[in-house]
Amino acid sequence: MGDNRGMKQRLSVLWLCISRFTFIFIVACIGCGKPPMFHLVARNEQAVEGEQFKIFLKGRELGTVTGSGTFEFDAEGRRGNTFQETQPQEIEVKIPWVCGWVKTDFSLYLDHPDEIERARTEHRAVQAIMNLSYSPPAFDWVTIFVDNRGGSPQTVSIGELQDQVPAGAAKRVILPNSDSCEKAKYVRLNGEILAPVNTRQTLLIDSTHSHCYRVEWAGYGFDDSGHGKTIYHPHPFQFLDSNPDSFMEPLPGSVLTTERATVRDTLKDVTCPKR
């Protein structure tokens, strides 16, 4: 009789130990199952027309987002219980830049605050948004005035970045410059080297080599106006002595400024003086 009672006690203790171990194991293994799958929709919420983003996963290019468009893809997450613990890794986003494609920033956020729990319950992928950000490296602007009146369409470029000037147009072109590669050192016209990059002086390009120019200016907050003494004679390209605010445009009637007085200037064409 005593032996049976002792046996029952030992079995009870053993069963209690097994139960406790099983409970601890179950609790410890919450979140250590198969990693969740994420369905990501990549977009730029402050899209600019023509802006491009390339999406990479584990070094492999998946697709491109252009302007206000989107790109959807699936990516495996990690084991865990919170979004920070489970969100996918090894995702990269790149933008075109002067010396080629460079990395830029992005952020991930869930469709709903409880999206991870919903996805687990419904046995589906976690829905998330990938917000793209256009964050290029440090750079300086290069200002180029292109007078293409009488000319065919032109392409102005620095490195990998370019701007189009339509036939017959006069256009102020601004391009970023980053001097981290050889091809970023020159301004090219239709693929051909035209002039060295200069971030301190405005470059003037006259596609027909037939126009003369002069800077005109006006004061705001005081009654005065005038024009510069220098006349820029016809040349394929030349650097200006100053950096006018606009090109081939009339001066504004008024300007908003925090100063009591200010000046605006523009480069206009004039009749070439006889030599």
Q: Which residue has the higher pLDDT, 253 or 43?
A: 43
Together in a domain, 125 and 183: no
- What residue has token string 């189009």? 164
- Helix, strand or coil for residue 136? coil
Bridge partners, residue 220, by sequence: 262
What pLDDT is attached to residue 26?
A: 38
pTM score, whole prediction = 0.77
- Residue ranges of alpha helices (H) inside 29-105 are 83-86
What pLDDT is attached to residue 254?
A: 85
CB 273 within 8 A of CB 214: no
d(Cα 130, Cα 184) in Å, to the nearest integer? 31
Question: Of 99, 132, 165, at which residue does a domain stop?
Answer: 132
Together in a domain, 107 and 170: no
Is the residue at 29 inside a domain? no
Together in a domain, 255 and 236: yes
What pLDDT is attached to residue 29?
A: 43
- Full domain range(s) for residue 77: 37-132
Together in a domain, 126 and 144: no
Q: Could you say which DSSP state residue 79 is in?
A: S
Mean pLDDT, the chain, rounded, equals 88
Residues 198-220: pLDDT tens digits? 999 999 999 999 999 999 999 99
What pLDDT is attached to residue 30?
A: 41
Does the pLDDT at position 67 exceed 90? yes
Does the pLDDT at position 86 exceed 80? yes
Residues 9-41: pLDDT tens digits? 554 544 454 445 444 443 344 445 688 999 999
What pLDDT is attached to residue 250?
A: 93
Mean pLDDT (whole number) for 237-254: 94
Is the residue at 216 inside a domain? yes
Together in a domain, 185 and 202: yes
Mean pLDDT (whole number) for 222-236: 93
Q: Output b/e per residue, 42-53; b: 16+ Cβ within 10 A.
A: bbbeebeeebeb
Task: Provide the domain count of the chain.
Answer: 2
Together in a domain, 172 and 232: yes
Does the pLDDT at position 248 exceed 90? yes
Question: Of 85, 113, 132, at which residue does a domain stop?
Answer: 132
Q: Which strands make up the sheet holding 161-165, listed edge to edge?
A: 161-165, 154-158, 186-189, 192-196
Together in a domain, 128 and 144: no
Question: Of 132, 160, 195, at which residue does a domain stop?
Answer: 132
What pLDDT is attached to residue 12?
A: 58
Is the residue at 52 inside a domain? yes
Together in a domain, 123 and 156: no
Question: Poorest-confidence range of 29-33, 137-141, 179-183?
Answer: 29-33
